[in-house]
Amino acid sequence: MQVAAIIAAGGRGVRFGADRPKQFHDIGGRSILELSVAALAASDRIQEIIVALPADHVDSGAKMLKAAIGRPVTVVAGGARRQDSVANAFARTAKASDIIVIHDAARPFVTRDVINRAIDGAQRHGAVVAAMAARDTVKQTGEVAEDGARLIRATIPRDSVFLAQTPQAFRRDILARALSEGREVDATDEAMLVERLGVPVHVVEGDPRNIKITAPEDLAAAKAAALQTSLIRIGNGYDLHRLVAGRPLILAGVTIPFELGLDGHSDADIVCHAVTDAILGAAGAGDIGRMFPDTDPKWKGADSIALLKAAVARVRERGYAVSNVDVTVIAQLPKLLPHLDAMRGNLAAALGVDPGAVSIKGKTNEGVDSMGRGESMACHAVGLIAPIT
């Protein structure tokens, strides 16, 4: 089964009342748009992503997403209405896509579980909407009095009322027909267009955290929620390289006297590589292989301290600073104790922290496996990051 995702971001957020479309406002150093796209890009069940943006933001939006998202994203110009933007994006999806997932850019906190439920639901039923059951008593109102009070016409059983979210997901043939036959209808979402066809639309469980940012006060609440849930973020990294003759042994930027060195495309500094993966992972910013692919000749023999500094810059672009790292180097030989202070100093300088925030420990592998036989070295690292205040 092949799945395509459409991000509806073609609106200008008139109700938001700001100097730019709301999807370009920041939450914790990342735009609402980037957060929404990143959530879908993190799913290994989605093969392609198409984003509909206002026409005058297509080029800048594409450039931003290319730098921020670790996989290809197609950007198209949106239309006058939401359904027009979705139709423009749908036209760019691969014909082989069986399921189309549609998500509002204004919902940056969608979770993997909700995305999976939408995909599974569409595969099973053909058309689904993520939604939350109403928790309060629901009143239907009518006339409005002069003082603004509304007349209650009926009390609606709340167990039949659900508040729609996105993603919504559809079989390709169903969505294609709904968009084609609904051109003359102003719809608030694609499910409404599908309902007009007489095709059953089912509800899958949404998430109370999957809030929609519509007004400035929503943005303030989202920033507070993001700060609360992301005060501490932790990532782990791991690297292993073979020991070979004719290569220098470089660990944390320190050249250590030894008859063997680590084999690799760059300088093979396993400490820097593991720490780089740890902090990138904590920030949800990919990994060292995507940022500095070993298929690119420009990284041949690269200084891994410089690569680590670039990773720190990327983490800071996302609104985070490194708090501390803890590193374990596994090597039978040589003894690392004489070099640990210099290694800690190099890492601290690259990370922008005090040396006291860097821990490096050396362990042997008790003669077991390639590390124990002195054929390789490995490194584990844990990195802690926190929002920049």
Q: Per residue in 267-289, pLDDT tens?
A: 999 999 999 999 999 999 889 98
**Is beta strand 233-245 parallel, antiparallel or unpaired with respect to 260-262?**
antiparallel
What pLDDT sits at residue 270? Answer: 97
User: Per the structure, how many domains does the chain have?
Assistant: 2
What pLDDT, in 10s, does the model give residues 201-235? 999 999 998 999 988 887 877 777 766 555 689 99
Within a domain: residue 258? yes
188 lies in the same domain as 224:
yes
Q: Report the distance separating Cα 291 and Cα 285, nearest Å.
A: 9
Is the predicted pLDDT of residue 372 greater than 90, yes or no? Answer: no
Give domain status of residue 57, yes or no.
yes
- Does some domain include residue 150? no
For residue 28, the model assigns a pLDDT of 73
Residues 207 and 298 both lie in one domain:
no
Q: Is the pLDDT of residue 263 over 60?
A: yes
The answer, yes or no, to whether residue 168 has pLDDT greater than 70, is yes
Mean pLDDT along residues 303-321: 91
Could you tell me if 64 and 181 lie in one domain? Answer: yes
Domain span holding position 7: 3-133+160-229
Q: Write the pLDDT tens digit of every residue in 105-120.
A: 999 999 999 999 999 9
Instruction: Kindly state whether residues 257 and 221 are assigned to the same domain.
Output: no
Task: Reply yes or no on whether the pLDDT at 236 is more than 60.
Answer: yes
Q: 225 and 237: one domain? A: no
Is 41 in the same domain as 111? yes
Give domain status of residue 68, yes or no: yes
Same-domain check for residues 212 and 242 = no
**Both 84 and 171 in a single domain?**
yes
Write down the pLDDT at residue 13: 61
247 and 195, same domain (yes or no): no
**Contact between residue 34 and residue 64 where contact means Cβ atoms under 8 Å apart:** yes
> Stretch 237-258: mean pLDDT, rounded?
96
Tell whether the model's pLDDT for residue 337 goes beyond 90: yes
Residue-averaged pLDDT of the chain: 91
Tokens of 373: 């036989």
Domain CATH for 50: 3.90.550.10
Position 319 confidence tier, pLDDT thresholds 50, 70, 90: confident
> Which of 11-20, 121-130, 145-154, 252-261 comes out lowest in average pLDDT?
11-20
- The confidence score (pLDDT) of residue 16 equals 60
Does residue 151 belong to any structural domain of this protein? no
- Tell me what pLDDT residue 196 has: 95
Burial zone of 2 (CB within 10 Å; 0-12 exposed, 13-18 middle, 19+ buried)? middle
**Dihedral angle of Cα 192, 176, 84, 181, to the nearest 10 degrees:** -70
Residue 155: inside a domain = no
| pLDDT for position 214 | 83
Q: In this structure, is residue 123 part of a structural domain?
A: yes
146 Cα distance to chain centroid: 48
What pLDDT score does 21 carry?
79
In contact, 335 and 362? CB cutoff 8 Å:
yes
Residue 140 domain flag: no
Domain end among 229, 250, 278: 229
Whether residue 344 sits in one domain with residue 203: no
pLDDT at 90 exceeding the cut of 60: yes
Let me know whether 239 and 218 are in one domain: no
- The 10s digit of each residue's pLDDT in 30-48 is 889 999 999 999 898 999 9
Looking up residue 291, the CATH number of its domain turns out to be: 3.30.1330.50
- Could you tell me if 11 and 27 lie in one domain? yes
pTM above 0.95, yes or no: no
**Final residue of a structural domain among 212, 229, 246:** 229
pLDDT of 230: 58
Cα-Cα-Cα-Cα torsion 124, 45, 133, 170, nearest 10 degrees, comes to: -50
Boundary of a domain, candidates 229, 254, 270: 229
* pLDDT given for residue 19 in this prediction: 65
